[in-house]
Amino acid sequence: MKKHLSTILLAIFFVFSAIAHYAHLNPILQFVVSAIAVVLVAGFLGRATESVAHYAGQRLGGFLNATFGNAAELIIAIMLLREGLYDMVKASLTGSIIGNLLLVLGLSIFAGGVKHKIQNFNVALANMNGSLMIVAVIALFVPALFLNTHSITPTEVDTLSLIVAGLLIAAYVAWLIFSMITHKKYLEDVKDPKAPEDHEEPKWSKNKSILFLVIATVMTAFVSEWLVGTLETFTTDFGFSELFVGAFVVAIIGNAAEHSAAIMLAMKNKIGASVEIAVGSSLQIALFVAPVLIFVSFFLGNTMDIVFTTLELVAIMVSVFIAKSIIQDGSTNWYEGLLLLVTYIILGVSFYLV
Amino acid sequence: MKKHLSTILLAIFFVFSAIAHYAHLNPILQFVVSAIAVVLVAGFLGRATESVAHYAGQRLGGFLNATFGNAAELIIAIMLLREGLYDMVKASLTGSIIGNLLLVLGLSIFAGGVKHKIQNFNVALANMNGSLMIVAVIALFVPALFLNTHSITPTEVDTLSLIVAGLLIAAYVAWLIFSMITHKKYLEDVKDPKAPEDHEEPKWSKNKSILFLVIATVMTAFVSEWLVGTLETFTTDFGFSELFVGAFVVAIIGNAAEHSAAIMLAMKNKIGASVEIAVGSSLQIALFVAPVLIFVSFFLGNTMDIVFTTLELVAIMVSVFIAKSIIQDGSTNWYEGLLLLVTYIILGVSFYLV
Amino acid sequence: MKKHLSTILLAIFFVFSAIAHYAHLNPILQFVVSAIAVVLVAGFLGRATESVAHYAGQRLGGFLNATFGNAAELIIAIMLLREGLYDMVKASLTGSIIGNLLLVLGLSIFAGGVKHKIQNFNVALANMNGSLMIVAVIALFVPALFLNTHSITPTEVDTLSLIVAGLLIAAYVAWLIFSMITHKKYLEDVKDPKAPEDHEEPKWSKNKSILFLVIATVMTAFVSEWLVGTLETFTTDFGFSELFVGAFVVAIIGNAAEHSAAIMLAMKNKIGASVEIAVGSSLQIALFVAPVLIFVSFFLGNTMDIVFTTLELVAIMVSVFIAKSIIQDGSTNWYEGLLLLVTYIILGVSFYLV
């Protein structure tokens, strides 16, 4: 029953946002329905990925899950790239990273902490994640600094961007090997499986899963494009900056599916799984989605450089520091969640005022 | 006998600094006697607060102790505000934070470490304090950065300052709820009560305590004003910067009472209590005193913004990093105290040369 | 036999590089042979130091080992100072610090991790090292910041540099007292001796050891001077920056001996000793070699200030952060080594492009 309801809702909002887009209805209406459609379609894409991953066996499945986990964000970002909205691409990547590290992690830790007082998870995973996040920050920060302090030609900027992007993807692939092959046991949570329970029994047959994955990907591409088309309204009519729209509006919509999953798991006292979703998603953005976008733009003929603005870099650094400080002892409580949320609000207000 | 002596000293220096002030004696003499008077009066105010807190019961008492703990600094800062010395207010806040994190904590850890080799305290508290300090740094750092890199109107600066100040006070109130109500046991030191032994038996009756608290507050207001009046001498006659006077002279005088208490406790092997005084005081300055001053200046009609200078921000950041690094394992030794003191001297020399 | 071989090689390359230098052979050839000679002579100097240290008894021996451990780098740097190549001195100091923290530590952890899966070492030492590294960064960072944001006279810059240098040497001496006298046991590795096995039985008699130490020091001075003379070729003929040559070419040659020792130990599962070599060397550079060079330049009549460039400071900061994050849990694996190497490559590419 519940399953049918979500399928019906998905279909309705997909059709509705198509109509809104092609009939040029009111831009606000277009934005609202396509935003809801993106959230629903991203959820569908997530379930289809998990189902295919189930049939692919543990290792390949884990790889699929990890790599397609941010497929919706990647597709939205490619749509933004095609429109030439490079600043908004970077803002939405920034927003995804800080949204996962502050909002998703903060709400999960807060909600879980209110219910369970103290929650614990594997310290080894927290430490590894912390170090990886620092390397991601360094990879984004060093090129920006070199560019701001030295005269470097645009070609050199592109070269540096592609080299750093290549290194990040290599680090990401090595991380998959490390976390899924050589040190799988070492990173496992003490008591709980990492993934939601519905992983256990896939709803769909193998062929149906693959078919749904293809359909969901195509649908995501469409609704993402419709959504991206409405964003101009915010910058031109309401005077919001691309930075704010990318970092807060786009990022929150693109990550809605992860948000609800992580919070649910925290309330079921599976805080380790919540941390993995939130931190894992932000790492995927920095180590996989961002570098892939640089290569995509390179093949499209106009390389997007890896140089984020000072504000974006500071927002990312600040989020990494506070998140690392909070997860590094492998224990969380409601106040730590609150601190993450306070940091998110401070950044939000500041981005809004720019 | 000892108690009587301190009362007599207090009275003598209070009267003496009043005479020096109203008779316009030599400014250096005025400064010396009012500085000593502030130290003595602040000690009296601290004892009166503790005594009232004792009668108020554990929760309200803890709240009173925590919130009035920096009453002397708050009063001095309000006197500086009234004189329009906004730069010196910020410098003295900076000085209080780094003075507590580097000088008080450094001397306590060094003195305790020389006597006891290795001293341990509750890691959970150290971790929470570390995360809170990082949020405080972020709250001060982000607005300053946004202002330095973007054109923002003065009104927007004031709005941002008031919002951030409100968030910090909210975080502080939530911290009191967390540390005194929901997670009191969790943060307690392994073997020792957190507070000095003389907490156990208050010297004064309930009514006497309240009377003394009122008297001490009024006295603090007077001697603070007299002290503030003499500070101009340093900047005009000796050529010291407001930054140096605020950050080192005012801050050391305002925190003298905490200094001696924290060092005593460390030598009695109650390093957990020392850490709580030093780190707790610096957190109170950042999360409570600074935001309250912004609201006070707002109600006085000329909002002080939350934008500290680059040097002040760096001094605070640097202090937080090294203090966090040293306390985060819940274990200290004399060399760690020395490192904090070396950092304090480096900052002091640099501020002096500016 | 093996010993004889290394002696013969040393003699051959020493003579060969002397010929290359005085006969003004091809600069590339001069560079190659004098670089190899430096590596071999530095190895000889290291063995002679260890042998003298053995006879000097545990305490004085530890002191000799620690202080003469970077004798080769110190001598090379003094040769650069005499040539007035101050920028290259600072670049080579930077390169030594990041080379030890990223390349040596990274290769050791990676190689050890591939062979042994998880390697553990004393957490107390890791924590102390982390805090010391932060103080070293602060000591280099604060003066640079004050200079960049304020108008300070050259005399004041020199004064500040000498004061900070004095504080760093004091902190270094206190560290030797702490780690070799008051808290020796506390920092010891859980299962293993810290030093290579050949420490146990010195090859040479007492008098021979002292003689060899003198000879090795003199030889190091000569080959260093010959090497330094060839470096101009890189900057003038190949267009490399002094920064790149100092930070990568000079630093790798000067540290080659430590590199091989640290990696060997890691593969023998003595990761604690590797960490001590790598982190210890970088601390010696920051706390002892750099300040000594400032005093040397002061006595030579033209004080080298302690102000590193922004890029150098960021490279050092970034290296300290990631190294601290990785060692602070007292446990390492191959992926953590890889992260250090990725960071090293990012910095290398960026320095190269400048």
pLDDT digits (tens, 9 = 90+) for C197-233: 444 566 788 888 889 888 888 888 888 888 878 887 7
| Nearest chain A CA: its distance from B137 CA (Å) | 10
The residue among C235 and A121 whose pLDDT is bigger is: A121
Give me the DSSP letters along C51-66. HHHHHT-HHHHHHHHH
pLDDT (0 to 100) of residue C125: 82
Residue C240: band (very low, low, confident or very high) from pLDDT cuts 50, 70, 90: confident
**Chain C CB contacts of A130 below 8 Å:** 325
Give me the DSSP letters along B123-138. HHHHHHHHHHHHHHHH
Q: Long-range CB contacts (< 8 A, 24+ apart) of B318-321? A: B318/B343, B318/B347, B318/C138, B318/C141, B318/C142, B319/B97, B319/B98, B319/B101, B319/B102, B319/B282, B319/B343, B319/B347, B320/B101, B320/B133, B320/B134, B320/B136, B320/B137, B321/C134, B321/C138
Question: What is the ipTM score, two decimals?
Answer: 0.85
The residue among C193 and A146 whose pLDDT is bigger is: A146
Q: Is the pLDDT score of C168 beyond 90?
A: yes
Q: Is the pLDDT score of C267 beyond 60?
A: yes
pLDDT digits (tens, 9 = 90+) for A311-326: 889 999 999 999 999 9
Averaged pLDDT for residues A170-190 = 81
Q: Is the pLDDT score of A122 beyond 90?
A: no
Please report, rounded to a whole number, the percentage of residues in chain A having pLDDT higher than 90. 19
Averaged pLDDT for residues A91-104 = 89
B/e letters for A27-65, b = 16+ CB within 10 Å, e = fewer, are beebbbbbbbbbbbbbbbbbbbbbbbbbbbeeeebbbbb
pLDDT-wise least confident of A8-17, B133-142, C221-230:
C221-230
A201 burial (CB, 10 Å; 0-12 / 13-18 / 19+) is: exposed
A305 burial (CB, 10 Å; 0-12 / 13-18 / 19+) is: buried
CB of A63 within 8 A of CB of A176? yes
pLDDT (0 to 100) of residue B226: 86
CATH of the domain at C215: 1.20.1420.30
Instruction: Say if A324 is an interface residue toward chain C (CB within 8 Å).
Output: yes
Is A120 in a helix, a strand, or coil? strand
pLDDT digits (tens, 9 = 90+) for B8-25: 888 899 999 999 889 888
The residue among C151 and A169 whose pLDDT is bigger is: A169
| Cβ contact C171–B338 (<8 Å) | yes
| Nearest chain A CA: its distance from B185 CA (Å) | 12
Q: Is the pLDDT score of A328 beyond 60?
A: yes
pLDDT digits (tens, 9 = 90+) for C8-48: 888 899 999 999 889 888 888 888 898 898 888 888 888 88
The C-alpha atoms of residue B124 and residue A335 are separated, in whole angstroms, by 13
H or E element in which residue B227 lies? helix B206-236
Residue C97 DSSP label: H
Name the most confidently modeled range: A16-25, A43-52, A81-90, A254-263: A16-25
Give me the DSSP letters along C165-222. HHHHHHHHHHHHHIIIIITHHHHS-SSS-SS-GGGSS-SS-HHHHHHHHHHHHHHHHH
Question: Cα separations (Å) of C177 from A64, B237, C59, C93, C167?
Answer: 54, 43, 9, 24, 15
Q: Which residues pair with B309 in a beta bridge?
A: none
Q: Is the pLDDT score of C256 beyond 80?
A: no
pLDDT (0 to 100) of residue C198: 47
The C-alpha atoms of residue A319 and residue A316 are separated, in whole angstroms, by 5
The C-alpha atoms of residue A205 and residue C332 are separated, in whole angstroms, by 42
| Cβ contact B329–C127 (<8 Å) | yes
Closest by CA position to C338, among listed C110, C108, C105, C103: C110
pLDDT digits (tens, 9 = 90+) for C57-86: 666 776 677 667 677 778 888 888 888 888
Average pLDDT in chain C: 83
| Cβ contact B167–A336 (<8 Å) | no
Other Cβ atoms closer than 10 A to B162: 17
Q: Report the residue of chain B nearest C150, measured CA to CA.
A: B354
| Cβ contact A339–B130 (<8 Å) | no
Q: Cite the beta strand spans of C57-180 per DSSP E.
A: 119-120
Q: Which residues pair with A120 in a beta bridge?
A: A331
The C-alpha atoms of residue B88 and residue B102 are separated, in whole angstroms, by 20
pLDDT digits (tens, 9 = 90+) for C42-54: 888 888 877 887 7
Closest by CA position to B34, among listed B14, B7, B52, B54: B14
**Chain A CB contacts of B163 below 8 Å:** 349
Q: Which residues pair with A331 in a beta bridge?
A: A120
Q: Given the structure tokens 């009066």, which residue do they identify? A: B41
Which candidate from B150, B159, B186 shows the least CB-CB separation from A354?
Answer: B150
B-C contacts (CB, under 8 Å): 82
Q: Is the pLDDT score of C130 beyond 70?
A: yes
pLDDT digits (tens, 9 = 90+) for C320-339: 999 999 998 888 999 999 99
Name the most confidently modeled range: B8-12, B69-73, B231-235: B8-12
Q: End-to-end distance of chain A based on CA atoms, in angstroms?
A: 47
Q: Is the full-model pTM beyond 0.90?
A: no
Instruction: Say if A181 is an interface residue toward chain C (CB within 8 Å).
Output: no
A343, HSE (Cβ side, Cα atoms, 13 Å):
37
The C-alpha atoms of residue C331 and residue C326 are separated, in whole angstroms, by 8
pLDDT (0 to 100) of residue A196: 46
pLDDT (0 to 100) of residue A345: 93
For an interface test with A, the pick among B127, B133, B142 (most A C-beta atoms closer than 10 Å) comes out as B142
The token pair that represents B169 in the structure block:
């006070």
Averaged pLDDT for residues A89-110 = 90
The C-alpha atoms of residue A183 and residue A186 are separated, in whole angstroms, by 5
The C-alpha atoms of residue A187 and residue A176 are separated, in whole angstroms, by 12
| Nearest chain B CA: its distance from C100 CA (Å) | 21
Relative orientation angle of helices C290-299 and C86-98, to the nearest 10 degrees? 160
CB of A253 within 8 A of CB of A39? yes
pLDDT (0 to 100) of residue B221: 81
The C-alpha atoms of residue B311 and residue B352 are separated, in whole angstroms, by 12
The token pair that represents C253 in the structure block:
């040659």
Residue A119 DSSP label: E
In this structure, which amino acid lies at residue A32? Answer: V
Give me the DSSP letters along A57-116. -HHHHHHHHHHHTTHHHHHHHHHHHHTT-HHHHHHHHHHHHHIIIIIIHHHHHHHHHHHH
CB of A168 within 8 A of CB of A290? yes
A-B contacts (CB, under 8 Å): 82
Instruction: Say if C134 is an interface residue toward chain B (CB within 8 Å).
Output: yes
Instruction: Say if A345 is an interface residue toward chain B (CB within 8 Å).
Output: yes
Please name the residues in contact with A93: beta carbons below 8 A apart, sequence gap of 6 or more.
A77, A285, A286, A289, A290, A293
Q: Given the structure tokens 């912004």, which residue do they identify? A: B294
**Chain A CB contacts of B129 below 8 Å:** none
Task: Tell me the residue range of the domain where C186 lies.
Answer: 2-352
CB of B81 within 8 A of CB of B235? no
pLDDT (0 to 100) of residue C2: 62
Instruction: Say if B354 is an interface residue toward chain C (CB within 8 Å).
Output: yes
pLDDT (0 to 100) of residue C195: 47
B170 burial (CB, 10 Å; 0-12 / 13-18 / 19+) is: middle
Average pLDDT in chain A: 83
pLDDT (0 to 100) of residue B350: 85
pLDDT digits (tens, 9 = 90+) for B145-160: 877 777 677 788 888 8
**Chain A CB contacts of B171 below 8 Å:** 338-339, 342
In this structure, which amino acid lies at residue A338? Answer: L
In this structure, which amino acid lies at residue B88? Answer: M
Averaged pLDDT for residues C174-180 = 87
Q: Is the pLDDT score of B196 beyond 60?
A: no
CB of A167 within 8 A of CB of A295? no
Q: Is the pLDDT score of B322 beyond 60?
A: yes
CA angle A171, A174, A175 (to 5 degrees): 85
CB of B128 within 8 A of CB of A325? no
Q: How many domains does chain B have?
A: 1
Compute φ and ψ for B191, nearest 5 degrees.
Answer: -115, -20
Other Cβ atoms closer than 10 A to C220: 23
Averaged pLDDT for residues A219-224 = 84
The residue among B336 and A28 whose pLDDT is bigger is: B336
The C-alpha atoms of residue C222 and residue C17 are separated, in whole angstroms, by 10
Please name the residues in contact with C177: beta carbons below 8 A apart, sequence gap of 6 or more.
none
- Residues written for chain B: 354
H or E element in which residue B143 lies? helix B123-149
**Chain C CB contacts of B321 below 8 Å:** 134, 138
The C-alpha atoms of residue C247 and residue C315 are separated, in whole angstroms, by 10
pLDDT (0 to 100) of residue C337: 94
Instruction: Say if B148 is an interface residue toward chain C (CB within 8 Å).
Output: no
Is C330 in a helix, a strand, or coil? coil
**Chain B CB contacts of C166 below 8 Å:** none
